[in-house]
Amino acid sequence: MKHEATPLPGSEEAEARAAVWSSSLRDYGLLFSLLVIMGFFYFLTNGVSIAPLNLTNLILQNSYVVIMALGMLLIIVSGNIDLSVGSIVGFVGGVAATMMVGFHMPILDVDVKTSWEVAVLVSLVLGALIGCMQGYFVAYARIPAFIVTLGGMLIFRGLTGNLLLGQFVGPFPREFQDISAGFLPELTNIPALHALIGDSHFRYGTMAIGILAVAIMILSGLRRWQRARAEAMDVEPFALFAGRTAIFSALVLFFSYQLAQWKGLPEVLIIMLVLILIYAFVTTRMTVGRRIYALGGNRLAAQLSGIRTERLIFLTFVNMGVLAGLAGLIVAARLNSATPSAGLSFELDVIAACFIGGASASGGVGKVMGVVIGAFVMGVMNNGMSIYGLGIYWQQVVKGIVLLAAVFIDIYQKNKG
């Protein structure tokens, strides 16, 4: 018996294109919202919100939210949650501070004081160990993540208080502070270039890096778009692609220009960008990433496809622990001291960033770029409202409303589409 191929039931070209348009627009709606919010605060603060100094501050303040949101995304995508990250930030910062400032070790009866490098290393390992512990309970002991990390939240907040005895511990060596307060060395420090440019306050190096990044972004984007069109049928329309790239490029160029007028590229921005690239790659291109999404989408089906779901969940928590540890270091470096309340309620900003960014609370859905934008939405609002002088309590009200609105729109569109 032969069976000739039957054509698709009425796949009308125009309809297919409309579908791609609407699904792409959903993705870019978020970027658009960010621009709107930025514009809003621009007017509200008479332009202060995008002044060079403030943009630099915005990045510094927001970096740890972005960094932790990357880890939180994986956890949420796998169908879990981590409430303990704020407490881990405080605890790891406290341990690092105590090590650098020096403490008395009672058992051996010696005074211990370590270099900042050792403190950083120990902190990251500590973050990983905390992640292992919580990951074990969630993945292998099968205790719901909400409960495990609620416990973790209390435990590590309490440990931080005990460790610091209610005091500020600091200050730290210059090199450590530079994690948060350092900027990339400027080109004008190189004698040859200095001769060329002269004594300019403008950071040409920063601007050059910005332009380079935009160039790479446009070229690789174009190549990917063309390849997609050559291979598959579902590509976003060129107009959308061009529009999105243009907006992104303009944003990056504008940011670089503003930063160049101040102190240049913050080191922490580099850390953040590298991490964003890594996580974007892992989630979209690597087998581990794919498996985490499958696990969150249908755990049983993933298991029966030979995926080690327990190990994956465990790893997402270890990963989160390390990133929270890193965030703890950044926060401590920024404040130049560790305090018992460092990182308090950070978990809320981080989780909100993920959901604003389009992650689904039931798992299986969420994108790195969305979450990064979501984190910046939170950051821009925090920052803009502070400048405007809105009271802290009203700030919370506004953030809550924005979170609800963002998720509402997202779900509304999905149901409609």
Partner 1 sequence: MNAILEMRSITKTFPGVKALRDVNLVVKQGEIHAICGENGAGKSTLMKVLSGVYPFGSYEGEIVYEGETRRFDRIADSEHVGIIIIHQELALVPLLSIAENIFLGNEPAKFGVINWSQAYNRAKALLKKVGLKEPPTALITNLGIGKQQLVEIAKALAKQVKLLILDEPTASLNEADSDALLKLLVEFRNQGITSILISHKLNELAKVADSITVLRDGTTVETIDCHSEKISEGRIIKSMVGREMSDRYPQRQPKIGETLFEIKKWRVEHPIHAGREVIKSVDLHVNRGEIVGIAGLMGAGRTELAMSVFGRAYGRNVRGEAFMDGAAIDISSIQKAVAVGVAYVTEDRKTLGLVLNEDIKNNVTLANLPAVAWRGVIDDAREQQVANRYRTSLKIRSSGIFQRALNLSGGNQQKVVLSKWLFAQPKVLILDEPTRGIDVGAKYEIYTIINELADAGKGVIMISSEMPELLGICDRIYVMNEGRFVDEMPAAGATQEKIMASIMREYGTVQ
Q: CB-based contacts of 256: which residues, under 8 Å, 6+ apart? A: 206, 207, 209, 210, 211, 213
Q: CB-based contacts of 112: which residues, under 8 Å, 6+ apart? A: 99, 102, 103, 104, 105
- In this chain, which of 307, 320, 338, 371 binds partner 1, going by CB under 8 A? 307
- In this chain, which of 165, 195, 304, 392 binds partner 1, going by CB under 8 A? 304
CA–CA separation, 230 vs 207, rounded Å?
35
User: What secondary structure letter does DSSP report for 111?
Assistant: E
Number of amino acids touching partner 1 (CB under 8 A): 43
Q: Which is nearer to partner 1, 151 or 221 (CB)?
A: 221
Q: How far is CA 157 from CA 161, 330, 391, in A?
A: 6, 18, 26
Residues in 230-249 that interact with partner 1 by CB under 8 A: 231-234
**DSSP state string for 67-99:** HHHHHHHHHHHTT-----HHHHHHHHHHHHHHH
Long-range Cβ pairs for the range 291-296 (8 Å, 24+): 292/74, 292/77, 292/78, 292/316, 293/77, 293/364, 293/365, 294/364, 295/78, 295/79, 295/363, 296/76, 296/77, 296/78, 296/79, 296/363, 296/364, 296/365
Q: Which is nearer to partner 1, 174 or 414 (CB)?
A: 414
Q: Which is nearer to partner 1, 64 or 293 (CB)?
A: 293
CA–CA separation, 375 vs 332, rounded Å?
20
- Should residue 367 be labelled a site residue for partner 1 when binding is judged by CB under 8 A? no
- In this chain, which of 157, 291, 367, 399 binds partner 1, going by CB under 8 A? 291
- Should residue 229 be labelled a site residue for partner 1 when binding is judged by CB under 8 A? no
Q: Which is nearer to partner 1, 141 or 232 (CB)?
A: 232
Name the minimum Å distance from CB 56 to partner 1. Answer: 35
Segment interacting with partner 1, rule: CB under 8 A, options 7-15, 103-111, 156-164, 383-391: 7-15
Q: Which amino acid is at 404?
A: L
- Should residue 22 be labelled a site residue for partner 1 when binding is judged by CB under 8 A? yes
Closest CA relative to residue 83, chosen from 150, 180, 175: 150
- Should residue 111 be labelled a site residue for partner 1 when binding is judged by CB under 8 A? no
Q: Which is nearer to partner 1, 19 or 147 (CB)?
A: 19
- Should residue 175 be labelled a site residue for partner 1 when binding is judged by CB under 8 A? no
CA–CA separation, 23 vs 20, rounded Å?
5
Q: How many CA atoms lie within 13 A of 20 on its CB side?
A: 15
- In this chain, which of 18, 121, 196, 274 binds partner 1, going by CB under 8 A? 18
CA–CA separation, 69 vs 366, rounded Å?
11
Segment interacting with partner 1, rule: CB under 8 A, options 18-26, 173-181, 270-278, 346-354: 18-26
- Should residue 189 be labelled a site residue for partner 1 when binding is judged by CB under 8 A? no
- Should residue 208 be labelled a site residue for partner 1 when binding is judged by CB under 8 A? no
Segment interacting with partner 1, rule: CB under 8 A, options 66-74, 102-110, 291-299, 402-410: 291-299
- Should residue 162 be labelled a site residue for partner 1 when binding is judged by CB under 8 A? no
- Should residue 308 be labelled a site residue for partner 1 when binding is judged by CB under 8 A? yes
Q: Which is nearer to partner 1, 233 or 250 (CB)?
A: 233
CA–CA separation, 80 vs 281, rounded Å?
21
CA–CA separation, 261 vs 290, rounded Å?
41
CB 388 within 8 A of CB 45: yes
Name the minimum Å distance from CB 313 to partner 1. Answer: 15
Angle at 264 between CA 261 and CA 266, to 5 degrees: 140
- Should residue 417 be labelled a site residue for partner 1 when binding is judged by CB under 8 A? yes
Does residue 102 come out as left (phi exceeding 0), alpha (psi in the -120 to 50 range) or beta?
Answer: left
| x/- track of binding to partner 1 for residues 260-289 (CB under 8 A) | -------------------------xxxx-
Name the minimum Å distance from CB 20 to partner 1. Answer: 8
CB 122 within 8 A of CB 92: no
CA–CA separation, 224 vs 289, rounded Å?
20
CA–CA separation, 351 vs 42, rounded Å?
26
Q: Which is nearer to partner 1, 203 or 291 (CB)?
A: 291
Segment interacting with partner 1, rule: CB under 8 A, options 80-88, 131-139, 167-175, 304-312: 304-312
- Should residue 46 be labelled a site residue for partner 1 when binding is judged by CB under 8 A? no
- Should residue 24 be labelled a site residue for partner 1 when binding is judged by CB under 8 A? no
- Should residue 7 be labelled a site residue for partner 1 when binding is judged by CB under 8 A? yes
Residues within the interface to partner 1 (CB under 8 A): 1, 3, 5-12, 15-16, 18-19, 22-23, 227, 231-234, 285-288, 290-291, 293-294, 297-298, 300-308, 364-365, 417
